[in-house]
Structure 1
Amino acid sequence: MSADLITGRIHSVESFGTVDGDGIRFIVFVQGCLMQCLYCHNPDALDIKGGRIVTVPELMQEIVTYKAFLKPNGGGVTASGGEAVLQAKFVTDFFKAAHKEELTTCLDTNGYVRDYNQDIIDLVNESDLVMLDLKQMNDEIHKKLTGISNQHAKRFAEYLHKQNQRTWIRYVVVPGWTDDDESAHLLGQFTKDMDNIERIEMLPFHQMGAHKWKTLGKVYKLEGVEPPSADTLKRLQSILQGYGHKVIY
């Protein structure tokens, strides 16, 4: 391996994603995350020293075999996680390589950016779309839900707006945590003037990652929590639409 090649740590890949950006997407789940979300469905991707080490050429060698399926309808590659901004330089190089193959790029992030250095600036500039998780606007609840403050994610949302960066907001609806009217109103109020936001995607909570927590010997604190009802989703959709957003789920 050449010494000048930037390497990254990845958890896994998915070759035909249809919900993580425009068109059909090749998704790279990078390894490592500094949040500890109670509902995380990839807890095995949290360890920043885990995963496997790869280079961008190694990734692209596989991706180009799917190029004919990815290119139509604006498809391309998505960097998800884990948390992609923790490996900003690697993801930026990955996105540059994808652009050379005429594939679009999407950054799926929780917005935990602490330093707006050149690596972060380059990453955002190389992203055709950013999907930003805004998990909870009430900071005290956010801390209990994720282990950290929401101030970094809010600042990143404001940065994306300032840059007029095409953005989708993702909001996980967790009963007892984010499914109340006040939480929806806070999200609507925070984002109402951000005209770079094309839509808000409400993602219903599910239990599909619970078994991974148990396999890792970790306590899954949302044991027994049921997915939100259709009525709940419709109610929250109506609230968020009241702030001028397109809202889907």
Structure 2
Amino acid sequence: MKTLENTLRVHSVESFGTHDGPGIRMVVFLQGCKLKCLYCHNPDTIDTHGGTEIPIENLVKRAINMKPYFGKEGGVTVSGGEPLLQSKELIHFFQCLKAEGIHTNIDTNGRVLNHFTEQLLDDYADLVMLDIKHMHEDGYQMITGQKNNTTTFNFAKYREASGKPMWLRYVLIPELTNTPELLHAMGKYFKNYKTIEKIELQPYHKLGVHKWEKLEWQYQLHDARENTEAEIESAVNILQLYFKEVKVN
């Protein structure tokens, strides 16, 4: 009998993802997030009561069928929403994937660090991609609508202590997150981390605005502009002072 313990609340599944971890990946976008980031391009994943309950065994079978496409680098990424809201259920999912020799990756904002998350990080997550929203508390609260930026940094410290690979992700918004002061602050904070393999920069865009309008939510960054090529290049040059690899998505 299917129970909530052996299902995941899923928004959607992408079969051949190439922007959510190494290689070709099956990307499972889980439903639900406690943040409401101003630039979120998937606001339809925020509602914790949305999505569809899908049996974990079905997702595992789909991943097994895709193994020939994964090659040496690919695998399964769970994203969202915030996947670690379902960290207890993800343990079983990742256990099954690891038993099949499938690489596992979590794309997270780092807000959830409980016993189940720790077990995932310690035993089953081959890679973690951690979204850094802002380096300062006031900026974090403005962007996400929530307080306590330190939870993300505590998450990073926990992953660093495990000695296992981590990537950082950071959205570049001119004057809001893309400033020399903030980029240097981030670089200096993480410069001694040994587990960070790269940082991925995601230049701001407005491709998700229509989703906000469909939900009848007010999009507050209408006046924000996209980065110029020079601004992106400048951000890359700064971060290359601190990180092994800087990639622009």
Q: CA deviation at 1:224?
A: 4.0
Taking every aligned residue pair, what percent have the same amino acid on both sides?
Answer: 39
Paired residue type of 1:131 = M
SS of the equivalent of 1:74 reads coil
2:139 is matched by which residue type in structure 1? I
Residue 192 of structure 1 contacts residue 245 of structure 1 at CA under 8 Å; is this kept in 2?
no
Partner of 1:225: 224
Q: CA deviation at 1:135?
A: 1.2
Note if 1:122 corresponds to 2:119: yes
Which of 125, 133, 136 is the aligned partner of 1:135? 133
1:244 is displaced (CA, Å) by: 4.2
Number of the residue aligned with 2:61: 61
1:94 is aligned to 2:67:
no
Do the aligned partners of 1:111 and 1:132 also contact (CA within 8 Å) in 2? Answer: yes
Q: After the TM superposition, which segments of 4 or more aligned residues of structure 1 sit over 4 Å from their partners?
A: none
Cα distance in 2 between the residues matched to 1:73 and 1:205: 31
Distance 2:170 2:107 in 1: 13
Distance 1:52 1:4, change over 3 A: closer
Matches within 5 A, 1:77-226: 77-113=76-112, 115-117=113-115, 119-125=116-122, 126-148=124-146, 149-226=148-225
SS state at 1:203 partner: strand
Instruction: State whether residues 24 and 69 of structure 2, in contact with CA within 8 Å, keep that contact through their aligned partners in structure 1.
Output: yes
Task: Indicate conservation of the 8 Å contact 1:25/1:77, yes or no.
Answer: yes
* 2:198–2:243 CA contact under 8 A, matched in 1: no
Q: CA separation in 1, counterparts of 2:77 and 2:243?
A: 27
Residue 171 of structure 2 aligns to a residue in which SS?
strand
Contact 1:79 1:108 in 2 (8 A): yes
Taking structure 1 as reference, are residues 247 and 5 closer, same or farther at Cα in structure 2, changes over 3 Å only? same
SS at match of 2:143: helix
After superposition, the Cα gap between the structure-2 partners of 1:235 and 1:3, relative to the gap in structure 1 and judged at 3 Å, is: closer
From the superposition, tell whether residues 4 and 17 of structure 1 become closer, same or farther in structure 2 (CA, over 3 Å): closer
CA–CA separation in structure 1 for the residues paired with 2:37 and 2:2: 37
**Structure 1 unmatched runs, 5+:** none
1:67-100 Cα deviation digits (max 9, x unpaired): 2112x13211000000011000112211121122
Structure 1 contact 6–56 (Cα < 8 Å) conserved: yes
Contact 1:22/1:73 (8 A) holds in 2: no
Deviations 1:106-150 (A, max 9, x none): 00000002x432x11111121000000011101111110111231
TM-score (norm 1): 0.94
Judged with a 3 Å threshold, the aligned counterparts in structure 2 of structure 1 residues 6 and 234 are, in CA distance, closer, same or farther, namely same
Q: Which moved more, 1:34-43 or 1:54-63?
A: 54-63
Post-superposition shift, 1:64?
2.2
Q: For residue 30 of structure 2, what is the aligned residue in structure 1?
A: 30
In 1, Cα distance between equivalents of 2:226 and 2:95: 38
Number of residue equivalences: 246
**Partner amino acid for 1:121?**
E
Local SS of the residue matching 2:154: helix
Partner of 2:129, secondary structure, is strand
1-side partners of 2:41 and 2:5: how far apart? 31
Q: Any stretches of 5+ residues in structure 2 without a counterpart?
A: none
Give the Å deviation of 1:37.
0.3
Deviation at 1:3, TM superposition (A): 4.3
Give me the whole-angstrom Cα distance separating, in 1, the residues matched to 2:132 and 2:2: 39
